């Protein structure tokens, strides 16, 4: 995929964040990478969604250097890069401060898998990733945020393609997928599941996680080898 | 009713789910049957609502075989079929993962009849239907979901036309009605009543159900033999 | 005011309910009276807001008989009539099942005056009116609903122009004002104040009512003899 | 800046309140001052946002006298003036009754800094300012509201440019910024942070404030001397 096509896809994915109510002001960004070309397209920093054009999307190489574009990339670029470099098969990354997912991050709670809506998108609990310490913040805040995410998945033995999201403590969600739009869809699913979980816990503080045989069925009918959901 | 008319009605009913905010992404489906013709029209699986056209609606016979249409039907088709086959007088079925109704499903709670908004649509509590066990999931998940719903209404002696909805544990609501649009209206009513009930319980955890003489009055002035609500 | 003008005002006020998100499906109605002409204009029963036209508005005389219009009036007409007949100075009545106000009704709680938003519209607590007993429902449900409202205000010594709304237990709010649009604005204010109160109580179950000197100041700067809010 | 330009900016900023869902009916107002010209432009009192035009914006001098415009200024003018006179560097002031921020005001709670969304806009807790006593209300309600805000920041040693907002007890938020639009953006951020905080506390009543090293990092990467967020 060449830069113009990648830019068009990334500007569209960023605008979808607005349409789905996941961002206010300039609080969010979506990127997509082309692993063959070794390039990443990402939203420019602090630009309003109404003013976003394909030309304003910044093209970055695998080392994080801008190779095309007049604007500065999102300040969260280094976090996106860590995710692309360490999670094989990820083609798109989304970061938002969507309300319910951010509430889970601020409450310091992972998102339990309370039902099939969650199981259709995430194969089990969406983890809480720790906050950074003083040294990590001072040294390279955004890069170390990405490293903390990668480290969490590795230590927990979690497959990032099966659980394509996390909640960072005191911060907000990071979400990924096979493409930019796929990561946006997962961001929508995460926000909806967090909103449903808030209400589930309000009704029943002792709500139980979905039994594993139903989790497997729902996840696999959509994402497994014999998936039969959709027009496949 | 012939297939073209049925398709037009079903595509409209599916689009109404979006307009009423009951679905995100592709999380929902509406069907309608014509009992004389022995056919059912249903949303194709995984197709986005923006791309939905009358032509994309799938026509199914009473045995669940596609008789017209190029796409695969909704993966929930077998659940719809069980409802049509066992609940006489039902002409339309809706399935959503709307937020408040799904929260009740996940919390494992039926929806109490807290007021007249509920009584205008459902003659008493909307029941919680159990989740499936491992064997039922492995054997025929979607069909057995429908069987569990039908079994619940039969065992509880509930009239499915008087209480045209249920909440499946760990999953989400299934709703029905005289037609596709009627099931969508009941889906709107269910979501609003669940949202009101969440807030009612937040204000008063000991909130009482509507007295039966008011339940009867409200339900019957709209649905009883001497109904006087509407233009008759 | 002649019937055509009254109809135009009432169709507009009903449509404003939709724009402000106070009604779903056909759950609400607004009326306006002309005391000199002795007529009331009201929404027809069960007609969707999208199909509502000025011609469809029903004109009623002071005894509740239809004097012009082809459709049946709202089934809540008799409640509106009781309010017009007993509360001097009221020119418009609104009934909705808006979410937060209905939650207070279902919880069986009056709405405390927690702040200046409330004080700008209602001079103190919005009362909870009791539900009807079996005899009252059987005899004349809608008329007796209006009588219970009037009786509550009389027994409590409440001025219906200073507190232009109530919450009926197990049911929903009734709201009034100097005109149809004024009652709709009060319905918006009531719903917002109920939503804020739900959140206030979630943050602080012991939240206190607004001190009376601030209640008086806010209410009177907008509605008192020396009111200076607005363009006069 | 001349009056016509100031009016255009202020009418736009007021309309942005509506677009962001921060105001209902006429519950809010935005002003901007030009310190060189010694003038302030503010919304007229009680005018609906749909009818607001640049010509309707009122131009006020530093003593609070109308120097241009046919309408009465917002009844909250004196509060805006106190803020402009005492907080150097403030160019715009916004007042709303947005739902979640008003709930914190009514609950009598300051807004803790629970996460980075908050830290991107406010350098720590957003304070609760006391309500006025009887004498202060009787004497000069709106002016004394401004004095209470200024006094709070001075006594607490708070920099109003680093924490550009407060919540007044029993009332609602006041927000400011470098310009009218900047104060509106801070009003959006405050409402979102209050909504997230409500949900954070619902999930975890013991939620902790953001560690100070992350607060500093997020606030300073956007507002500090070496800020690198945005296009600079």
pLDDT of residue A232: 75
Active-site amino acid positions of B: 120, 229
Q: Do D204 and A44 touch (CB under 8 A)?
A: no
Q: Do D172 and C117 touch (CB under 8 A)?
A: yes
pLDDT of residue D229: 86
Three-state secondary structure string covering chain C: CCHHHHHHHHHHHHHHHHHCCCCCCCCEEEEEEECCCCEEEECECCCCHHHCCHHHCEEEECCCCEEECCCCECCCHHHHHHHHHHCCCCCEEEEECCHHHHHHHHHCCCECCCCHHHHCCCCCCECEECCCCHHHHHHHHHHHHHHHHHHHHHHHCCCCCCCCEEEECCCCEEEEECCHHHHHHHHHHHHHHHHHHHHHHHHCCCCCCCCHHHHHHHHHHHHCCCCCCCCC
CA distance A90 to C154: 69
Task: Look at strands A28-34 and A92-96 and give their pairing.
Answer: antiparallel
Is residue B1 pLDDT above 90, yes or no?
Answer: no
Q: D155-191: per-residue pLDDT in tens?
A: 999 999 999 999 999 999 999 999 999 999 999 999 9
Q: B59-114: per-residue pLDDT in tens?
A: 999 999 999 999 999 999 999 999 999 999 999 999 999 999 999 999 999 999 99
Paired strand residues for D39: D34, D61
Q: Do A201 and D203 touch (CB under 8 A)?
A: yes
Q: Do C196 and D102 touch (CB under 8 A)?
A: yes
pLDDT of residue C87: 98
Nearest to B212, CA basis, from C173, C133, C102:
C133
Closest partner residue to A102 (CB to CB) among D117, D208, D214 is D117
At residue B226 the predicted structure's pLDDT band, cuts being 50, 70 and 90, is confident
Rounded mean pLDDT of chain B? 96
Closest residue in chain C to residue D26, using alpha carbons only: C230
Task: Look at strands C58-61 and C66-68 and give their pairing.
Answer: antiparallel
Closest partner residue to D196 (CB to CB) among A99, A134, A201 is A99
The predicted model gives C87-91 an average pLDDT of 97
A20 in contact with chain B, both atoms CB, cutoff 8 A: yes
CA distance C226 to C232: 10
Q: A51-88: per-residue pLDDT in tens?
A: 999 999 999 999 999 999 999 999 999 999 999 999 99
Q: C64-76: per-residue pLDDT in tens?
A: 999 999 999 999 9
Rounded mean pLDDT of chain D? 96
Q: How many CB atoms sit inside 10 A of residue C155's CB? A: 8
Residue A56 CA neighbour count, 13 Å, CB half: 17
Burial of D174 (0-12, 13-18, 19+ CB in 10 A): buried
Rounded mean pLDDT of chain A? 96
Task: Look at strands A128-129 and A165-168 and give their pairing.
Answer: parallel
B97 in contact with chain A, both atoms CB, cutoff 8 A: yes
A192 in contact with chain B, both atoms CB, cutoff 8 A: yes
Closest partner residue to A203 (CB to CB) among B25, B104, B134 is B104
Residues of D in contact with A75 (CB under 8 A): 221, 228-229
B45 in contact with chain A, both atoms CB, cutoff 8 A: yes
At residue D2 the predicted structure's pLDDT band, cuts being 50, 70 and 90, is confident
Q: A84-131: per-residue pLDDT in tens?
A: 999 999 999 999 999 999 999 999 999 999 999 999 999 999 999 999
B58 in contact with chain A, both atoms CB, cutoff 8 A: no
At residue A29 the predicted structure's pLDDT band, cuts being 50, 70 and 90, is very high
pLDDT of residue C57: 97
Which chains sit next to B, with 3 or more Cβ pairs under 8 A?
A: A, C
- C-alpha distances (whole Å) from B128 to each of A120, B83, B84, B171 are 21, 16, 19, 10
Question: What's the complex ipTM?
Answer: 0.96
Angle between helices B99-107 and A180-203 (to 10 degrees): 60
At residue C3 the predicted structure's pLDDT band, cuts being 50, 70 and 90, is confident
Q: A120-148: per-residue pLDDT in tens?
A: 999 999 999 999 999 999 999 999 999 99
Residue to test with chain C: of B183, B184, B203, B226, most C Cβ within 10 A:
B203
Q: How many CB atoms sit inside 10 A of residue D21's CB? A: 12
Cα of D203 to nearest chain C Cα, Å: 12
Active site residue C141: no
Q: Do B131 and A214 touch (CB under 8 A)?
A: yes
B213 in contact with chain C, both atoms CB, cutoff 8 A: yes
pLDDT of residue C229: 86
Provide, rounded to the nearest whole percent, the portion of chain B with pLDDT above 90. 93
Closest partner residue to C103 (CB to CB) among B199, B214, B228 is B199
Q: Is residue C99 a contact partner of residue C187, using CB atoms and an 8 Å limit?
A: no
Catalytic residue among C34, C61, C68, C120: C120
The predicted model gives A21-35 an average pLDDT of 96
Residues of D in contact with C196 (CB under 8 A): 99, 102-103, 106
Q: B113-149: per-residue pLDDT in tens?
A: 999 999 999 999 999 999 999 999 999 999 999 999 9
Is residue D94 pLDDT above 80, yes or no?
Answer: yes
pLDDT of residue C98: 98
Paired strand residues for A174: A95, A166
Nearest to A81, CA basis, from A57, A58, A63:
A63
Q: Name the more confident of A184 and C232.
A: A184
Q: Do D172 and C199 touch (CB under 8 A)?
A: no
Q: Do D103 and C202 touch (CB under 8 A)?
A: yes
pLDDT of residue C226: 84
pLDDT of residue A2: 85
Closest residue in chain C to residue D56, using alpha carbons only: C231
Instruction: Tell me which H or E stretch contains B106.
Output: helix B99-107
Angle between helices D180-203 and D3-19 (to 10 degrees): 20
Closest partner residue to B203 (CB to CB) among C99, C103, C137 is C103
Cα of D78 to nearest chain C Cα, Å: 13
Cα of A90 to nearest chain D Cα, Å: 26
The predicted model gives C82-107 an average pLDDT of 98
Domain A3-223 has CATH 3.40.225.10: yes
- Polymer length in residues for chain B: 232
B56 in contact with chain C, both atoms CB, cutoff 8 A: no
Closest residue in chain B to residue C138, using alpha carbons only: B217
Q: Do B199 and C198 touch (CB under 8 A)?
A: yes
Residues of B in contact with A196 (CB under 8 A): 99, 102-103, 106
C114 in contact with chain D, both atoms CB, cutoff 8 A: yes
Q: A146-165: per-residue pLDDT in tens?
A: 999 999 999 999 999 999 99
φ and ψ at residue C118, rounded to 5 degrees: -65, -45
Active site residue A141: no
Domain boundary assignment for chain D: 3-223
Whether the model clears a pTM of 0.80, i.e. scores above it, the answer is: yes
pLDDT of residue B147: 98
Provide, rounded to the nearest whole percent, the portion of chain D with pLDDT above 90. 93
At residue A229 the predicted structure's pLDDT band, cuts being 50, 70 and 90, is confident
φ and ψ at residue B172, rounded to 5 degrees: -170, 180
Q: Do A138 and D213 touch (CB under 8 A)?
A: yes
Is residue C1 pLDDT above 80, yes or no?
Answer: no
Residue A215 CA neighbour count, 13 Å, CB half: 15
pLDDT of residue C208: 98
């Amino acid at each position: 995929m060449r830069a113009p096509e990648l830019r068009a896809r990334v500007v569209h994915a960023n605008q979808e964040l607005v349409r789905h109510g996941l961002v206010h002001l300039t609080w969010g960004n979506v990127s997509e990478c082309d692993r063959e070309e070794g390039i990443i397209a990402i939203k420019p920093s602090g630009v309003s969604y109404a003013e976003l054009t394909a030309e304003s999307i910044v093209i970055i190489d695998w080392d994080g250097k801008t190779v095309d574009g007049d604007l500065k990339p999102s300040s969260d670029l280094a976090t996106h890069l860590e995710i692309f470099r360490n999670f094989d098969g990820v083609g798109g990354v989304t970061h938002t401060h969507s309300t319910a997912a951010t509430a889970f991050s601020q409450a310091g709670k992972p998102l339990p898998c309370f039902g099939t809506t969650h199981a259709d998108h995430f194969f089990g609990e969406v983890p809480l990733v720790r906050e950074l310490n003083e040294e990590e913040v001072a040294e390279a805040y955004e890069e170390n945020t990405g490293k903390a995410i990668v480290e969490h998945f590795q230590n927990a033995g979690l497959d990032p393609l099966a659980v394509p999201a996390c909640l960072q403590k005191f911060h907000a969600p990071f979400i990924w997928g096979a493409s930019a739009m796929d990561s946006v869809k997962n961001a929508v699913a995460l926000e909806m599941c967090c909103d449903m979980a808030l209400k589930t816990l309000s009704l029943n503080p002792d709500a139980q996680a979905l039994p594993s045989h139903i989790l497997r069925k729902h996840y696999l009918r959509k994402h497994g080898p014999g998936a039969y959901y959709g027009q496949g």
